[in-house]
Amino acid sequence: MAKMLKDTLETIEKYKSSSPHYGELLDILEEILILREKYRPNMKENIFPVNENLIKKKLAGGLPLVDFSGGDFDLTEPKKYFLALLQIAEKQTPGETREFAEKIEDGTIDYEEIVRNSFTIPHDDEEIPEGLESEAFDLIELFLEESLRPALEVLAEKYGKAIAKSEWSEGYCPICGKDPRIGELKEEEGRRFLFCNQCGFEWNFMRIKCPFCGNEEQQTLAYFTVEEDERYRVDVCNVCKRYIKTVDFRSTKEEANLDIEAIATLHLDMLANEEGYL
């Protein structure tokens, strides 16, 4: 794991040079990854218990392994990690984040409730916590997602093979149910894999299909690239008007780190939004 972190940090430094406009965000990612390794040993499998007798049935029925709408969780360790992450946000938005952290610590804001809401309430309907401006709220959203990542990675590692055997065909994550924001084309035939930023899991998905609405009509599915760099593209659906970024490093033989690519391709998000895609 230490070597993997070292390699990732080296990649981040490379991207800071090639994409200096994302330097601040990449600095934050660097801090997150270092902190993640510190807290990872505390994230045990039983934080998100999975009934192994139901795994095959759940996956066959299109249900993710973790039910955030009604499961019984002990979020003590993820909450500690979240509060540590907020110290990173405090550097960016002094005062505002500290006030939010204090409300988490004294129970005025229920950490478990905002975790569950992040899975059950559509993003556009989320309310910004009182007293927080958008910049602070964006970081809090990022850190809320990250606070669960190490614990969910335990499940991804343990049940990844079972998921592969199940031939999961849904566009949302089989571990936690979150929608993907980025994917990758791999292998000689260009198989498509979707990536879950919430738990770090990748799964195979049909290439000509919208992961959000299931549309398979080629006439209403498209993609665009920018700056003549065909390693990056945005796949769009003109039925549901949603999009997903896709990286394709097959020609360069590079190994994509999709956590980094999600940040290094934010210009693609902006272009997609400008074109009316969500």
Instruction: Look at residue 140 in the predicted model and tell me its pLDDT.
Output: 87
pTM, to two decimals: 0.92
Assess whether 152 and 224 both reside in one domain.
no
User: Quick one: pLDDT band at residue 131, thresholds 50, 70, 90?
Assistant: very low
Q: Which of 34-48, 88-102, 157-171, 215-229 has the lowest mean pLDDT?
A: 88-102
For 159, the token pair is 């049940």
How many domains are there within the chain? 2
Does residue 201 sit within a domain?
yes
Whole-number mean pLDDT of the chain? 91
Q: 97 or 165: which carries more pLDDT confidence?
A: 165
- Say yes or no: 157 and 186 in one domain: no
Mean pLDDT of 19-39: 94
The Cα-based distances of 112 to 101, 104, 106 in angstroms read: 14, 10, 13
Residue 215 predicted with pLDDT over 90 = yes
The amino acid sitting at 8 is: T
Per-residue pLDDT band at 154 (split at 50, 70, 90): very high
At which of 169, 201, 229 does a domain end? 169
Do residue 147 and residue 228 come from a single domain? no
The mean per-residue pLDDT over the stretch 192-216 comes to 97
Output the pLDDT for position 175.
Answer: 98
pLDDT higher than 70, residue 10: yes
pLDDT at 262: 95
Residue 177 has pLDDT above 90, yes or no: yes
Residues of the chain with pLDDT > 70, as a percent, come to 94
Residue 34: the pLDDT is 96
35 within some domain: no
For residue 211, give its domain range: 179-278
Name the pLDDT band for 133 (thresholds 50, 70, 90): very low
Domain boundary at 127, 150, 169, which? 169
> Cβ contacts of residue 240 below 8 Å, gap of 6+?
210, 212, 213, 215
- What pLDDT, on a 0 to 100 scale, did the predictor assign at position 155? 96
> Quick one: 161 and 200 in the same domain?
no
Domain boundary among 169, 191, 212: 169
What pLDDT shows up at residue 14?
94
Percent of the chain with pLDDT over 90: 80
Compute the average pLDDT of residues 243-260: 95
Average pLDDT over residues 43-61: 93
230 part of a folded domain:
yes
Residue 214 lies in a domain: yes
Cα 278 to Cα 269: distance, rounded to the nearest angstrom? 9
At 59-114, the pLDDT tens digits run 999 999 999 988 899 999 999 999 999 999 888 877 888 889 999 999 999 999 99
